[in-house]
Structure 1
Amino acid sequence: MPMQPRRWTPPPAPPRARDTRSTPEMPPLRLLELPGKGPEDVVVAADGRLLTGIDNGAILAVDPETGAVEQIAHTGGRPLGLHAEADGSLLICDAQRGLLRLDKPGGEIEVLVAEVNGEPLNFTSNVVAAADGTIYFSESSRRWPLREWMGDIMEHSGTGRLLRRNLDGTIEILLDGLDFANGVVLAPDGSSVVVAETGAYRVTRYWLSGERAGTSDPLVQNLPGFPDNMLLGSDGLVWVSLASPRNPLLDTLLPLPGVLRKISWAIPERLQPKPARTVWAMAFDFDGNQVHDLQRAGTDYALVTAVAEHDGNLYLGSLSEPAIAVTRVP
């Protein structure tokens, strides 16, 4: 796809972006091997199993203790973000098919949203649901597909969206022009929904109630890395996966004439810069205060695109690895 670079001046990277380990360091990882690659998101089901989707379209349920794996569905596309309901149903963002619902393990898959205002969803990314059944979900890019996700980061297209599916099935666009919209988390009191903007190094909050209803502001900004999927932990915190630290070359190119990024995109993929290997997750409260910062070297696991906290355990997913990684909050 021809690149249409948009110039943007990023905030100066914080010193933390240059570190490769946190203090204290993230504890060692235990890997739960999968029959395929790319557990891009990980959520904890009501029965305690871990749910994830892999690159062949399968939805898997994984026992976090024994590692036993069961395939509970197949989307026919590429599943990304998930939301597990208490009744055993599962909301699925499929990058190719849109927003789906699995009624039960081994059950039927229903397409909830495939298009918005007559335009097919291009890159459905992450999802969360309120207790009343209202669904909030993100679309990362209206230009670039999942297989060329790096193209959107380099182009800085600003075509991501945060959407709401109401109880009557109507769709509202809550926020448009987002820089690679990604993880979505609903505040426990329902006052706001937050969305990660991977390409802008920030987490943006959209107010649902109160005097600020219908407006947005940054919950966290100028992160030291690229935020990806997010999840509300059992500790009440917003857990954010950081797929990679900030890239100094990209930060240098973004404010410059777009032809430089066009040239970079045109060179063979094997010669293009790759995301730095790291394992990284952070947690924030709903005032934007950092509570946890856990990182270790990406020697055996990397490109962490998901973090789920449950009772002090951390379950990590990756766009490229053939396993779910398990560690603990120190």
Structure 2
Amino acid sequence: MQTPTPLVPLRYVDVGARGPEDVVADAEGRVLTGVEDGRILRLDGLAEAATTRVRTVTETGGRPLGLELLPDGALLVCDAERGLLRADLADGTVRVLADSVAGEPLRFCSNAVALPDGSVCFTVSSRRYPLRHWIGEVVERTGTGRLLRLEPGSDRPEVLLDSLQFANGLVASRDGSFLVVAETSACRLTRYWLTGPRAGRHEPFAEDLPGMPDNIWRGGPDGPFLVALAGPRVPALNLLHRAPRAVRRAAARAAVRVPVRPPAAGGVLAVGEDGDVVHHFTHHRSGFRMITSVCEAGGRLILGSVRERGVAVCEAPAPR
């Protein structure tokens, strides 16, 4: 593991609503994010405070989480309440692509990636706990997270992987041969092979991470994966996760009734295609809590958070 490097925000940008959970940058360096009230926002000019503009481009009618820009300029949206959506950013129309799996409603849809063949892979974090009770999933570790694929023209997703521990961020490899999915509760990244002799199989990609991985970003084909760490590893949780299911479930029932205040610690990992951590950027003792996403825009790192009312703009660390 690389020696941690501090990640110090230059400024915070209030977006006028709570919970910009995922942040993605378009080809013009503008950032898109979804917030708690259902809106999708476009943030322009983040490189300079005086030029920053925030505009609503559409509304999902639910709670947008993970976003993925499509080659035609539309936006894939994982909505925790409505399922997998497609939003046309030109006219604001929103269409449901999938809202159930084998008759079971899609809830806590988390992140998506579009593949060259037109199919879409996406994650569901939990089949037991909704977004508002995410802490219950972290505490209990139900192992009900999923990786799904939706073929072009279909509205019936197939299950590629089941029994994941809080399936979250998702990204494709440079050549499209595999996917990397973040398992937040397990503090690991898992690889799922799409092509080649190991197609359909999965294996650990990066384990024993220094924190809980959330969304994953890759801005260019040659860069590393940038993994947001929503919080540090918690020794008490590690101990609890070895307890019987009944004990974990009782602890989860208690946890969802108590207001959650995440620790003021998080960070970003840069991970290569071989699974090695090449950079570890830490973010400590800050009012900006629970970093759930990261992207690069205008020569800066932009951090999103499911809890905050804005994004953090950081100097992009120099390569080492």
Q: TM-score, normalised by structure 2?
A: 0.91
- The change in CA–CA distance for 1:76 and 1:284 in structure 2 (over 3 A counts) is same
Q: Is the 8 A contact 1:41 1:53 kept in 2?
A: yes
Q: Which residue of 2 aligns with 1:197?
A: 183
Looking at structure 2, the residues matched to 271 and 116 of structure 1 have their Cα atoms a distance apart, in angstroms, of: 31
Could you say what secondary structure the match of 2:6 adopts? coil
Q: Which residue of 1 aligns with 2:151?
A: 166
Q: Is the 8 A contact 2:139 2:255 kept in 1?
A: no
1:293 aligns with 2:280: yes
Matched letter for residue 245 of structure 1? P
Matched letter for residue 140 of structure 2? E
Q: CA deviation at 1:131?
A: 2.8
1:277 aligns with 2:258: no
Looking at structure 2, the residues matched to 140 and 109 of structure 1 have their Cα atoms a distance apart, in angstroms, of: 22
Matched letter for residue 155 of structure 1? E
Looking at structure 2, the residues matched to 230 and 192 of structure 1 have their Cα atoms a distance apart, in angstroms, of: 14
Where do 1:34-113 residues align within 5 Å? 34-63=15-44, 64-65=46-47, 66-113=51-98
Matched letter for residue 201 of structure 1? C
User: Deviations 1:161-219 (Å, cap 9, x if unpaired)?
Assistant: 00111113142211011001000001120100110001111110100111111111111
1:231 aligns with 2:217: yes
Could you say what secondary structure the match of 1:199 adopts? coil
Deviates more, 1:309-318 or 1:80-89: 309-318
Matched letter for residue 122 of structure 1? R
Looking at structure 2, the residues matched to 231 and 48 of structure 1 have their Cα atoms a distance apart, in angstroms, of: 14
Could you say what secondary structure the match of 2:189 adopts? strand
Deviates more, 1:300-309 or 1:141-150: 300-309
Looking at structure 2, the residues matched to 305 and 105 of structure 1 have their Cα atoms a distance apart, in angstroms, of: 27
Could you say what secondary structure the match of 1:309 adopts? strand
Unaligned runs of 5+ in 2: none
- The change in CA–CA distance for 1:273 and 1:43 in structure 2 (over 3 A counts) is closer
Q: Which residue of 2 aligns with 1:5?
A: none
Q: Is the 8 A contact 2:140 2:251 kept in 1?
A: no
- The change in CA–CA distance for 1:265 and 1:62 in structure 2 (over 3 A counts) is same
Q: Which residue of 2 aligns with 1:316?
A: 303
Looking at structure 1, the residues matched to 254 and 132 of structure 2 have their Cα atoms a distance apart, in angstroms, of: 17
Q: Which residue of 1 aligns with 2:293?
A: 306
Q: Which residue of 1 aligns with 2:131?
A: 146
Cα RMSD of the aligned pairs, angstroms, is 2.0
Q: Is the 8 A contact 1:279 1:301 kept in 2?
A: no
Deviates more, 1:290-299 or 1:205-214: 290-299
1:32 aligns with 2:13: yes
Deviates more, 1:254-263 or 1:295-304: 254-263
Looking at structure 1, the residues matched to 135 and 207 of structure 2 have their Cα atoms a distance apart, in angstroms, of: 21
Unaligned runs of 5+ in 1: 1-13, 17-21
Q: CA deviation at 1:297?
A: 1.2
Q: Is the 8 A contact 2:136 2:253 kept in 1?
A: no
Matched letter for residue 187 of structure 2? Y
Matched letter for residue 118 of structure 1? G
Could you say what secondary structure the match of 1:150 adopts? helix
Deviates more, 1:226-235 or 1:120-129: 226-235
Q: CA deviation at 1:270?
A: 7.4
- The change in CA–CA distance for 1:268 and 1:142 in structure 2 (over 3 A counts) is closer
Q: Is the 8 A contact 1:141 1:158 kept in 2?
A: yes
User: Deviations 1:101-160 (Å, cap 9, x if unpaired)?
Assistant: 012244210000100111110110001102332111000001110000011111110000
Q: Is the 8 A contact 2:58 2:89 kept in 1?
A: no
Looking at structure 1, the residues matched to 165 and 310 of structure 2 have their Cα atoms a distance apart, in angstroms, of: 28
Deviates more, 1:25-34 or 1:296-305: 25-34
The percentage of aligned residue pairs carrying the same residue is: 46
Matched letter for residue 329 of structure 1? P
The number of equivalent residue pairs is 311
Looking at structure 2, the residues matched to 265 and 143 of structure 1 have their Cα atoms a distance apart, in angstroms, of: 11
Q: CA deviation at 1:274?
A: 4.0
Could you say what secondary structure the match of 2:185 adopts? helix
Q: Which residue of 1 aligns with 2:317?
A: 329
Q: Which residue of 1 aligns with 2:104?
A: 119
Looking at structure 2, the residues matched to 134 and 269 of structure 1 have their Cα atoms a distance apart, in angstroms, of: 35
Could you say what secondary structure the match of 2:244 adopts? coil
Q: CA deviation at 1:271?
A: 5.5
